[in-house]
Structure 1
Amino acid sequence: MQINLQVGDVLRVPADGLISTANPWLNLSGGVNGAILSAVGPTIQQELHSYLKRHGISAVPAGSVVQSNAGDLPFDYILHAVAIDPFYDSSIKLVRQTVFAALEMAIKAGAKTISMPTLATGYGPLSIADFGTAVAPLVGEPRFDGLSLTIVVRTAEHQSELADAISAARVQA
């Protein structure tokens, strides 16, 4: 898998699919989720709440990934990745498992390009470097060969921190 690091707005980086941050209640309430709600209105929120209702649950477990449409955003679909628990706690292991599951879903949907923000680093407790450590092992995963993943961060400082963490984790592996 090829990883590209880019500074900007993840909702403006076209790709086949977007892996978005998500909370266990699938509420589009802040961060990237709030930006999705602002950009497309309530349709995706309604779709996510319908998912919960169909399954007879009020929340999904940490590590879950739920697919929705993308509205007018430059993606074919959004994969809402829950890399936090109900208390907004997380770990490198949970982020790695969640991103792995989301990438597998993206491949099954025919994706060649994926965009995503860093998971569990805004409302979650992880640093940008922790996120880099989480995703670094996925670069060499054979099942993701041919996939291009663009990780979008807000600042050049975060871009540099993420690049350093991914490189360091890959050297240690």
Structure 2
Amino acid sequence: MPFQLRHGDLTETPADALVNAANERLAPGGGVCGAIFEAAGPAELDAACRAVAPCPTGSAVATPAFRLPVGHVIHAVGPRWQDGRHGERELLASAYRSALAVASSLGDRSVAFPLISAGIYGMPRETALEVATEAITGYLADTDDSLEVSLVLLDEPAALRRTLPPGLTAYLAEQGVDVGSSPDLDRSMASGDTGAFFPQAAPAMPQAAPCATPRDAAVPPKRRHSVKDLLSRRLASLDKGFSDTLLDLIDERGLADSAVYHRANMSRQHFSKIRSNPDYRPGKPTVLALAVALELPLAQAETLLARAGYAFSPSSAADVIVRWFIEEGRYDIFDINEALYAYDQRFLGA
């Protein structure tokens, strides 16, 4: 299911399909639309668009991508902003859902969108982003959770900071976190949850009492066996691992797997690896995503992190951001990821 925000040039975003913010006539335009036509080959794409035009507002249609390094261009028509009382939000959500339905019907597994209607069509960027997030994540949860979707924004990530909860900004300042240096969620970890792993320390072994036997006396075999038995008992009493702890928490809450991985912004395939492998070693973003998905209070989130060998770091902007949302009881992972994006941090889940 993963959905993520990106910053950059839509035409250079790796995906099976790119979405064009189109007009009803599917005619070449400015901004993102103009860039897509230019990159695809203006004459070829214009001819293909004329063959399938018009496309009503709230709908989408596909054409070949020509020179673009993707399979298709999907043209989605968003509404012009009037005052927010003329069905603009509903029409914009329909444009996103229609584009995703077209992508699914064509067999595309990854799709990259611009922020539709937020340019010359005049929709406030905060509103456009909110509608885009709700429409995309809703479609993925209800219809096709195997798609990977990127929303490519032209603005620098820091531009989103003004839309974040004021309490988060104050909390970061109180914690003395240097957000300018952008410490990441375990940069050593690859997105596929491989790499460095920091296991929990085993419980300390008790020290044996000093032996009164003369130095040259042999240690009785019985004593050696008792040490082995003690070690076995200690190992058997270790805390459960990450996978077992996670599955216990899911069962306690009576949640279906699909609800968990949707809330965690994870693919079904990724979650299946965790469920099927008791020794699975997750990356820190995965653990935090699942803690959010399960709506764990801070103490339980810390325990789940510890089971995977991690802890919240007071010097990491990403950790402090996630901790604030958990302490506030705000468990929408897409709100959290928006905040992480604004501070140039790695996302949870995706």
Alignment of 1:148-159 (within 5 A): 148-157=148-157
Measured at CA, do residues 8 and 25 of structure 1 come closer, stay the same or move farther in structure 2, by a change above 3 Å? same
Partner of 2:78: 83
CA contact (8 A) 1:117 1:153 kept: yes
Structure 1 contact 115–150 (Cα < 8 Å) conserved: yes
RMSD between aligned alpha carbons? 2.8
Q: Which residue of structure 1 lines up, in the alignment, with residue 143 of structure 2?
A: 143
1:142 deviates by 2.6
- Per the alignment, residue 68 of structure 1 pairs with 63
1:162 deviates by 10
Map 1:122-141; keep pairs closer than 5 Å: 122-137=119-134, 138-140=136-138, 141=141
Residue among 156, 167, 173 paired with 2:335: 167
How far off is 1:164 after superposition? 5.2
- In structure 1, stretches of 5+ residues that fail to align are 53-58, 169-173
Taking CA–CA contacts closer than 8 Å with sequence separation of 6 or more, which of the two structures ends up with the larger relative contact order?
1
1:93 counterpart = 2:94: no
Q: Is the 8 A contact 2:58 2:93 kept in 1?
A: no
Aligned to 1:106: 103
- How far apart in 2 are the matches of 1:149 and 1:139? 9
Residue identity matched to 1:134? V
Task: Map 1:46-57 to 2 at 5 A.
Answer: 46-52=47-53
| Equivalent residues of 1:92, 1:133 under 8 A apart | no
Alpha-carbon distance in 1 for matches of 2:160, 2:101: 27
Alignment-mate amino acid for residue 99 of structure 1: Y
Q: C-alpha deviations, 1:67-126, integer Å up to 9, x for none? A: 1000111210011001125x9x87221111110111011011111110111000001121
Q: 1:159 offset after TM fit, Å?
A: 6.7
Paired positions, count:
162
Report the equivalent of 1:171. none
TM-score by length of structure 2 reads 0.42
**CA 112–164 in structure 1, closer or farther in 2 if over 3 Å, else same:** farther
Per-residue CA deviations over 1:31-76 (Å, capped at 9, x if unaligned) read 1121122222310111111223xxxxxx332112121000111210
Aligned to 1:28: 28
**Contact 1:66–1:79 (CA<8 Å) still a contact in 2?**
yes
- 1:118 paired with 2:115, answer yes
How far residue 167 of structure 1 moved from its aligned partner, in angstroms, is: 1.6
Higher normalized strand content (fraction of residues): 1
What is the deviation of 1:28? Answer: 1.2
Q: Could you tell me how far apart the structure 2 residues matched to 1:68 and 1:25 are? A: 14
SS of equivalent residue, structure 1 residue 18: strand
Query: Is the deviation greater in 29-38 or in 74-83?
Result: 29-38
AA aligned to 1:3 is: F
Distance in 2 (alpha carbons) for counterparts of 1:50 and 1:18: 19
Shift of 1:7: 0.8
Larger Rg: 2
Aligned residues of 1:26 and 1:48 also touching (Cα < 8 A)? yes
What TM-score does the superposition give when structure 1 sets the normalisation length? 0.82
Counterpart CA distance in 1 for 2:98 and 2:162 is: 21
Measured after TM superposition, the shift of residue 10 of structure 1 is 0.2
Q: Distance in 2 between matches of 1:26 and 1:130?
A: 24
Classify the secondary structure of the residue corresponding to 1:29: coil
1:135 Cα deviation after fit: 2.4
